[in-house]
Amino acid sequence: MSLNQNRFNLILALHNHQPVGNLPEVFENTFEQAYRPFVEVLAHHPEVKVTLHYTGILLEWIEKHRPEFLDKLRQLISRGQVEIMGGAYYEPILPIIPDEDKKGQIRLLNDRIKELLHTVPQGMWLAERIWEPHLARPIASSGLRYITVDDAHFHEVGFKDLYHYYLTEEEGWELCIFPVSEKLRYLIPFRPVEEVISFLHQQLYHDKGDLLVLADDGEKFGSWPETYKAVYLEKWLDRFFTALGEHRDWLRTVTFSEYMELEPPEGPVYIPAAAYREMKEWSRGYWRNFLTRYPESNRMHKKMLNVRRRINKMPESKNKEEAFRYLWAGQCNCAYWHGVFGGLYLNFLRSAIWENLLKAEELAESQLQRKEHWLEIRVKDFDYDGHKEAVVASDRFSLLFAPHLGGSMWEMSWRPAAANFLDTLTRRPEKYHRDLVEQESAPSEERREKNGGVKSIHDLQGVKESDLQNHLQYDAYPRGSLIDHFLPSEETGMEDFKKGKYRDDAGILLQPFTMELRRLEKRSEQASLIFRRRVSRNEYDFLLEKEVMFQAGSDRFRVNYTLENYSSRVLGGRLGVELNLAFMSGYSGDRYFHIPGRHLENNYMASEGAEQEVETLEMYDDWRGVVIALNFNYPVLLWRFPVETVSRSEEGMERVYQQSVIVPQWQLGIPPGESRELTLDVDFRFKAQEYPGGSKELTTEGVE
The sign of the CA dihedral 509, 513, 518, 524 is positive
pLDDT value of residue 467: 84
Distance between CA atoms of residues 307 and 366, nearest Å: 13
* 8-283 and 474-686 agree in CATH topology: no
What's the pTM?
0.94
CATH number of 8-283: 3.20.110.20
| Tens digit of each residue's pLDDT (9 = 90 or more) over 117-175 | 999 999 999 999 999 999 999 999 999 999 999 999 999 999 988 999 999 999 999 99
pLDDT value of residue 519: 86
Which residues belong to the active site? 128, 217
Say if CB 146 and CB 256 are below 8 A apart: yes
Averaged in consecutive runs of 10 residues, what is the pLDDT profile of the chain (704 residues)?
A: 67 98 97 98 98 98 98 98 98 98 98 98 97 98 98 93 96 98 97 98 88 97 96 98 97 98 95 94 95 98 98 97 98 96 95 98 96 95 97 98 98 98 97 81 46 57 80 94 90 88 89 93 82 93 97 97 97 96 96 97 96 98 97 98 93 92 97 98 86 37 32
Tell me whether the omega of the peptide bond preceding residue 671 falls within 30 degrees of 0, making it cis. Answer: no
| CATH 2.30.29.30 is the classification of domain 474-686 | no
Residue 41, sorted as left (phi over 0), alpha (psi -120 to 50) or beta, turns out to be alpha
Per-domain boundaries in the chain? 8-283, 289-420, 431-470, 474-686
The sign of the CA dihedral 492, 497, 499, 503 is positive
| Tens digit of each residue's pLDDT (9 = 90 or more) over 367-411 | 999 899 999 999 999 999 999 999 999 999 999 999 999 999 999
Residues near 175 by Cβ (< 8 Å), separated by ≥ 6? 135, 136, 139, 140, 144, 145, 146, 147, 167, 168, 169
Distance between CA atoms of residues 394 and 610, nearest Å: 34
Distance between CA atoms of residues 147 and 164, nearest Å: 13
pLDDT value of residue 674: 98
Tell me which residue of 157, 241, 228, 660 sits closest to 424, measured CA to CA.
660
Distance between CA atoms of residues 686 and 673, nearest Å: 43
The tally of CA atoms less than 13 A away on the side-chain side of residue 163 is 17
**Three-class SS of residue 622?**
coil
